[in-house]
Chain A
C-alpha cells in the first residue's frame, strides 16, 4: 500500500488550519531558540578552551605553591634550565597600591614576573606593545580599574610597599584571566627582580609562587609522571596545559549544562502549548475524523494524518527557533564575557543546529501524540448522528499508557541530554515533575474552590467569569500550568539573587565598610590612631595567629592525612582530590574508616584568634564558652578551644575531643569545649578556631580590624593615610567589594533571567493558544447571552473576570512554589539564610495578572464582532 496518498491527504487536510497551527509551532520556537543558543554557546566555549589551552596557562607546565620553593623544587627547576628549557617565575601577592600624585589607595593583586612570561598568548596593553618594556626598569602595567580607583593615569608613580613603579600602560587582555576579577583585586604587573625592594613578602605574608616552563607536550607529561610525587612533599603542585584544559572544560561544561537546562524549561513549556493547541485543533476536526472513519480510515491512519501535520509544524517551528537561537547566541558571550577566562568566538555549531531541530520536532510530536490518541474514541457514528456518547475510556487503555510513557521518556531524555550528568539530570527531572504536579494540583484546587465559592454577593459578570474557571472545557489547567511555570522560574531566579546578595549588603548603620589586615603587632596602635583621626570608627579588632594541627586525640596529623602539598592546604579539596578521595587514595585515616577526618582540614593552615566572648556573627551550638580571663595555662592541662561547626564536622571532632596545635613550633594541647555556628556570609573577621585570651596572648600575631568610615572621602583618606605610613597593611574597601559582587551576581542573574524570559514568553503564547482554543465556545456563549439581552460591556466584564482570575491564580501558584523551592535551594544548595522579599513578588504577580487579562481580552475581541445571526448561521 502506497503512503503517498495518505501524505497528500494529510497536507491537504491542514489547508485552512495553518494559521491556527502557527500558534502551535510558535510554542516550540522559543524553546528551541533557547536550546540552540545555549548549546551553540557551550560548543563555542569548548572550542575556545581547546584552541586557547596553552595560552590560558601561558606555558606547557606550571609549578605552584603558596610557600617559597624548597630545595627539591629548585633542583628540578635547575635541571630544566640546564636542559635549556625556558623557565620563568611569577610571584603573586596582595598589596595596597598608593598613587603618589593623587593619594588614591586600593588593594591590588601584584604579579611580579620574570622575563619570558608568558610563553604562549599575548598580553595586550594600551598603549600597544608595553609588555615588552615591562622588564626595562621599575615599570608597572595595571588594570584599567586600578587607574580608575586611584584616579591615576599612565605615567604616574604607584607605591607598592617600599618601592615606587611608573605606570607605563594598562592591561587590556591577559590570557586566562577573568576580566571581572579586576573588580575585586585589580592586577599590577611588575618585574620580578624588584619584589625584595618592596619588602612586602614577610613571614606570615600570603603569596603564591609559580614557575612556568615551555617544553614539548610529551616531555611535559614525562616530567609530570617523574616528579609530581616528589614535589608533593614540598607542597608544590605541578600541572600541564592539558590538565588545566580538562579542568576548565569540566567547569565550563557545567555552566553550559546549567544554561541549557534553564532553556529546556522553555521547551517543555512549549510542549504543554503544543498539547493544548493540538487538543483544540482535534476538537474542531471531530466531524472530519468521523467522516474519515466512515469512509474506511483506520485509527492509526487518522493518527498518522494529524501526527504528520504536527511533525511538519514542529519542523517549521524548530527551524525558526534554530534561526532565532543562532542569532541569540551572539548575545550570550557578550553578557558573560567578563566572567569567562577564554575568548568565545561565535560560529555556527552544526551539532547544536541538528540537536535543536531534532529535539524540537520530537517534543512537538511527543506532546501532540496524547491528544491525537484520543481520536480513537471518536466514533464514525458521529457522521450520521450529532450526539454520540464516546466509548467509555478504559481505565488501562494501552495506547494512552503508551502515549504517557513516551512523553515521560521524552522529557527525561531531554533533561538528561542537557544536564550531561546523572545526578543533575535526576535532580532537574524530579524538580520539573514536582513543580508541574504541584501546579496541576493547584489548578485542580482552583476549579474545586471556584465551584464551591460563595459568589452570591458578586455581580453577574464576575460570577459568570469565575464560573468559567470550573465549567466543562475550561482553560484553568493549561493556563495555570503554562503561566505558573514561567512565573515560577522568574521568581526562583529573583529569590536566589536576593538571598545571595542580602548578607553581603553593607548595613547603613552598623556594619563595617573597611577591613584592614596584615597589621603587625607594633603597628596596631598607630593604625588605630590614624583611623580615629579621620573619623573612622573601629568596630572590631582581632589578632591572627597562624597555626597547624599537630594531632587529634593523640593521632598525628601526618598519620591522619599524609601530605599532598600545594595550594589545597588552605581550603577544601580540588576536584582531582575529591575524585582521588573517592578512590581511597587520599589519606582518610585507616582505609575504610568512615569516621576519619578530611585530609585537607587536617593539613591546612589555620588563622586563629583569641577572645573570651562570642561576636554577633557567632552562635553557640554545643558546650559552653569559657569565663573571661579564665583561660587555662598550658602547663595545667589542655587549654580550651571553640570550633566552628563546619570545620569540626570535617575534622570529625566534637565537644570533649583533644586537638594539639603547632603554633610556629610551640605545641599547645587543647580540648574542644564548645562548637559555634559562624555566619560566614558576613564580611567580618570570622575564625574556625577560637582560643581563650590567656592561651595565645603572647604568640606572634598580626591584627585584622573592621572599621566604619562615615563617608566615601573618609574611606579614601583612611586607605591613603594608613598605606602611606604602613605600606604592608592591606585595606579592603568593603563597599567596593560589595559593588563588585553585586556586579558579578547581577550579570549571572541577567543571563539566567534572559533565558527564563524565553519561558515566560512561551507561557504567554500558550495562554494565547488556550484563549483561542476556547474561542468557539466563547462565541456561542456570547451569542446566547446577547440574545438573552446582555450588553457588550457585560460580556467584556465576564471575560475580564475570568482572565484576571486565571492570571492571578497562575502567578500566585507559581510564586508560592518558587518561595518553597527558594527555601530548599537556600537551605541545601547555597546554605544561606532565607528571606522572602514580598513587595517585588507582589509586583510580579500583578504584572503577570494584568498581562494575562490584556492577552485574554485582545484575543477574544472577535467575540464582540459576531452578531447573533451570523453565529447561528455558522452553527
Chain B
C-alpha cells in the first residue's frame, strides 16, 4: 500500500520559493493501476519523484507498506527501491556501456543476488528480445530499448512499478505495443502500477485516474479500463 499524506514540495527558483505540490493526499491499494495525469507543469513528475522515494517532501509523508520514506536516509531509500520499486523512464535510461542482458540484471547485481543473467534471459525472452541479450543499447531501436527497460523494471519482482511517460519517446504503434506488454507483465506479477502521463488515452487504460493541476489534486476517479 502506498499512502501520500498531505504532500507538499517547494523549490527555490531564482531565489524565490516555488510551490510544485500542495496538500496532495491519496492512497493506492496493492495491485491497483493508477494513472496520474495533468498538463505540463502540473507537478506530475514531482509527485512521481516523491512517491518513488527519489526526493524528500517539504511537508507531509509518503508511506510505502507502512515505511515513512521521508524519514529514511538516501541510501536506505535506495535499498528500499531495489527491493520493492521498479522504474520505467521516458528516455529508457539504459546504461550505454552494458548489454541488454546486463542492463536487465542491474537491480539484482546491486542487491548482490546471484542468478541475474539467467533471470534476465527469461525476461528478455518474455519481452520478445530473446537472442538480443548481447546487444548494446546503441544497437537497439527505441521500442527495443524500452522493452529492455521493462524487463529490468520487473526482474526483482517489485511490489510497485512507476512508469514516467513510458511512451513519450516512441511512435504511436510502438508505444501501444509497449503499453500492452507492460500491462500484461503487471497482471502476471500482480504489481501495483503508477503511470504518469499526459496522454489521456493511455490514462484511460488505468483503473483510477488522479488528475493534477497547479500542484494540487483536482480529481481522483476510479472505474477506468482494467
Which residues of A are interface residues toward B (Cβ below 8 A)? 1-6, 8-9, 12-17, 287-288, 290-301, 379-381, 383-385, 389
Contact = CB atoms under 8 A, between A and B. Distances in A.
Contacts of A295: 81-82, 87, 106-107, 110, 152
B81 A381 contact: no
Contacts of B105: 5
B49 A384 contact: yes
Nearest to B83: A296
27 contacts: A1-B111, A1-B112, A5-B110, A5-B116, A6-B112, A9-B98, A9-B109, A12-B97, A12-B99, A292-B106, A294-B87, A294-B93, A295-B87, A296-B83, A297-B78, A299-B75, A299-B78, A301-B110, A379-B55, A381-B49, A381-B54, A381-B55, A383-B54, A384-B48, A384-B54, A384-B89, A389-B12
B55 A383 contact: no
Contacts of A12: 97-99, 102
Interface in B31-80: 45, 48-49, 52, 54-55, 74-75, 78-80
User: Secondary structure of the A side of the interface?
Assistant: helix
A13 B112 contact: no
B72 to A, nearest CB: 12
A282 to B, nearest CB: 14
B141 interface: no
B218 interface: no
Nearest to A17: B97
Given A288-B97, A389-B11, 13 more contacts: A5-B114, A5-B116, A8-B109, A9-B110, A12-B99, A15-B98, A291-B89, A294-B81, A296-B79, A296-B110, A296-B111, A297-B78, A384-B48
Given A12-B97, A381-B54, A299 B74 contact: yes
Contact of A13 (B12, B45, B93, B97): B97
B152 A300 contact: no
A298 B83 CA distance: 13
B102 to A, nearest CB: 6
A292 B97 contact: no
Contacts of B80: 296
A294 B78 CA distance: 7
Contacts of A293: 54, 78
Contacts of B79: 296, 298
B1 interface: no
A9 B49 contact: no
Contacts of A14: 97
Nearest to B74: A299
B54 A380 contact: yes
B216 interface: no
A385 B109 contact: no
B90 interface: yes
Give the contact-size bracket for chain B.
35 or more
B95 interface: yes
A12 B108 CA distance: 15
A385 B45 contact: yes
Contacts of B11: 389
B99 to A, nearest CB: 8
Contact of B109 (A5, A290, A298, A381): A5
A373 to B, nearest CB: 14
A290 B94 CA distance: 11
A5 B75 contact: no
Nearest to A297: B110
Nearest to A1: B112
A296 B49 contact: no
Nearest to A392: B12
A158 B225 CA distance: 119
A321 B45 CA distance: 50
B30 interface: no
Q: Which of A12, A15, A296, A384 has the most CB of B within 10 A?
A: A296
10 closest A-B pairs (Cβ-Cβ)? A296-B82, A1-B112, A5-B109, A298-B75, A15-B97, A296-B81, A291-B93, A380-B54, A298-B78, A2-B112
A8, A294, A295 pick with most chain B CB within 10 angstroms: A295
A383 B93 contact: yes
B164 interface: yes
A16 B97 contact: yes
Contacts of A17: 97
Given A300-B75, A384-B45, A384-B90, A294 B111 contact: no
A14 B96 CA distance: 10
B179 to A, nearest CB: 18
Nearest to B106: A295
A9 B110 CA distance: 9
A15 B98 CA distance: 8
Nearest to B152: A295
Nearest to A380: B54
A383 B89 contact: yes
B81 to A, nearest CB: 4
Contacts of A389: 11-12
A875 to B, nearest CB: 13
Contacts of A383: 54, 87, 89, 93
A391 to B, nearest CB: 9
B110 A294 contact: no
A383 B85 CA distance: 15
Contact of A288 (B12, B95, B99): B95
A300 B89 CA distance: 24
Given A13-B98, A295-B87, A384-B45, A287 B93 contact: yes
A384 B164 contact: yes
B78 A296 contact: yes
A294 to B, nearest CB: 5
Contacts of A297: 78, 82, 110
Contacts of A301: 110
A606 B104 CA distance: 89
B54 to A, nearest CB: 5
A40 to B, nearest CB: 38
A17 B97 CA distance: 9
Contacts of B109: 5-6, 8-9
Given A384-B45, A384-B48, A385-B45, A292 B54 contact: no
B85 to A, nearest CB: 8
B95 to A, nearest CB: 5
A539 B81 CA distance: 92
Interface string B105-130: 11111111110100000000000000
Contacts of A294: 52, 54, 81, 87, 89, 93
Contacts of A9: 98, 102, 106, 109-110
B10 to A, nearest CB: 12
A22 to B, nearest CB: 16
Nearest to A299: B75
A5 B75 CA distance: 19
Contacts of A379: 54-55
Contacts of B106: 9, 292, 295
Contacts of B52: 294
B104 to A, nearest CB: 11
Q: Which of A8, A291, A293, A384 has the most CB of B within 10 A?
A: A384
A4 B114 CA distance: 9
A16 B54 CA distance: 28
B114 A2 contact: yes
Contacts of A300: 75
Contacts of B93: 287, 290-291, 294, 383
Contacts of B82: 295-297
Contacts of B107: 295-296
B128 to A, nearest CB: 22
A292 B110 contact: yes
Contacts of A299: 74-75, 78
B153 to A, nearest CB: 9
Contacts of B112: 1-3, 5-6
